[in-house]
Amino acid sequence: QQQVKQSPQSLIVQKGGIPIINCAYENTAFDYFPWYQQFPGKGPALLIAIRPDVSEKKEGRFTISFNKSAKQFSLHIMDSQPGDSATYFCAASRENQAGTALIFGKGTTLSVSS
């Protein structure tokens, strides 16, 4: 049972484009939704995160949109740059439960061409 479903698996955009990565979750008890960015040979690193009490969060060129009723959230990258080429993972967890763990989607490989 896949608790967090991520799409697309891969994405190619031109520099300046706006790639959008989507995730859907099953467990309505999830209350923390981060996005991680991973470059080849490195561990994932937190990019941006949102809680279900807000519908949108922006940090620089990165925006999370959250739809609680649809159990979906997405990452938008404005004015994408070649340096944004990486693998992106969405994740979810229950922060109100002791011993909680992050459950990750399968990842999206983004390539931004110059």
**Which structure tokens are listed for 73?**
């959230």
CA gyration radius, the chain:
14
| Contact with another protein (CB under 8 A) among 32, 52, 71, 72 | 32
**3 vs 26: CA distance, rounded Å:** 6
Residues 38-97 that bind another protein (CB under 8 A): 41-46, 49, 89, 93, 95
Q: Least distance to another protein from the beta carbon of 106, Å? A: 4
- Measured from the CB atom, the residue of 17 and 38 that comes closer to another protein is 38
**27 vs 101: CA distance, rounded Å:** 13
Which residues are 38's β-sheet partners? 87
- Which residues make up the interface to another protein (CB under 8 A)? 6, 9, 32, 34, 41-46, 49, 89, 93, 95, 98-99, 101-107
